[in-house]
Amino acid sequence: MANRYRGEIDAELGGRRRTLVLTLGALAELEAAFAAPDLVALAERFGAGRLAARDLIRIIGCGLRGAGEAVSDDEVAAMAVEGGATGYVRIAAALIAATFDESPP
End-to-end CA, the chain: 14
Indicate the pTM of the whole model.
Answer: 0.91
Cα–Cα distance for residue pair 72/1, rounded to 1 Å: 23
User: Is the pLDDT assigned to residue 48 strictly greater than 60?
Assistant: yes
pLDDT category of residue 49 using cuts at 50, 70 and 90 = confident
- More confident: 71 or 47: 71
Cα–Cα distance for residue pair 37/102, rounded to 1 Å: 21
Helix (H) or strand (E) holding 43: helix 39-47
Cα dihedral value 24, 30, 34, 38, nearest 10: -10
Q: What is the pLDDT of residue 54?
A: 94
φ/ψ region of 68 (left if φ > 0, alpha if ψ in -120 to 50, else beta) reads left
3-state secondary structure of 20: strand
